[in-house]
Amino acid sequence: MTTPLPVPREAVLIVNARSRRGAAMFEQARDLCAEHGITLTAAHPVKDPSRLNDTVREAVRSGAPMVIVGGGDGSLSCVVDDVVGKDCVFAVLPLGTANSFARTLGLPLDLPGAVEAIASGKRRRVDLGMIDGDYFTNAAAMGLSPMIGQSVPHNLKKYLGRVGYLTGAIWCFARFRPFRAIVTDDAGEHRLWASEVRILNGKFHGGVEMSEDADVDTGDMMIQVVSGRNRWRLAWDWYARFFRIRSREKLVEEFRGRTLKLDTRPRHSISIDGEVLARTPVTVRVAERAIDVVVPA
């Protein structure tokens, strides 16, 4: 939902300098902000990701009307908790590998385009997802995604980007086994075999559009289960979505609601916007209209 309030012209710039392009892009981002008339009261290249939260929290506490955060989906999801409930606009510079949240918001994926979108854009009030008490921006998953997140070295993702993910995915795919998923919604409990489970607040996961119906202002969450015990169904589902092939076979089951419960047999780790942060069983909720973001006008 767009709001009539203007986008602030004053901000704090915070860039994850360990993200794939963060270190190289920090200086350029600072210069571009100045060129587009955005006054930076502070600018921080954060080389230690564990300091991101403290840096954003301090910027919000100091009264910054807007924080511009540069990094990947994991960085954005990590710090968004510090903006919820605060009078501070959250602006995004997509400097990661997949940039799924930026894609959902319709932001340009190049740095000059993203800064221009912030300078000339509008405010939009959006939902966040919640897994137990943890807010996230875009998507969570279990199955192959957490295996890749735990197995692929950071430098491989940093220097090879999506090719690095693909290399790790092929290696993990050979070791992966389907599991039982239990989803509880308003209609009751649903038990099914799964090769992957996606928890969607937005359209994209891993830089690939997973659903035309999920979005950041629908007021509910979607759990998408790639069903069946055949691992090749998962490979075909990713292939079909990547190349936008309309499959005749129904490969996924989808469940929607403001609150959903999710469990697995055996227990599984959950990757939240690329970072392995939770483990089943969990409660999935929508935090409706939780933050203001900047989107293209």
Q: What is the pLDDT of residues 34-89, one digit of tens each?
A: 999 999 999 999 999 899 999 999 999 999 999 999 999 999 999 999 999 999 99
CATH number for the domain whose boundaries are 135-288: 2.60.200.40
Percentage of the chain beyond pLDDT 90 is: 72
The pTM score is: 0.89
Whether 159 shows a pLDDT value over 60: the answer reads: no
Which CATH class, in words, describes the domain spanning 10-126?
A: alpha beta
How much is the pLDDT for 114?
98
Domain boundaries in the chain? 10-126, 135-288
135-288 matches 10-126 in CATH topology: no
Secondary structure of the chain as H, E, C letters: CECCCCCCCEEEEEEECCCCCHHHHHHHHHHHHHHCCCEEEEEEEECCHHHHHHHHHHHHHCCCCEEEEEECHHHHHHHHHHCCCCCCEEEEEECCCCCHHHHHHCCCCCHHHHHHHHHHCEEEEEEEEEECCEEECCEEEECHHHHHHHHCCHHHHHHHCHHHHHHHHHHHHCCCCCEEEEEEECCEEEEEEEEEEEEECCCEECCEECCCCCCCCCCCEEEEEEECCCHHHHHHHHHHHHCCCCCCCCCEEEEEECEEEEEEECCCEEEECCEEEEECCEEEEEEEEEEEEEECC
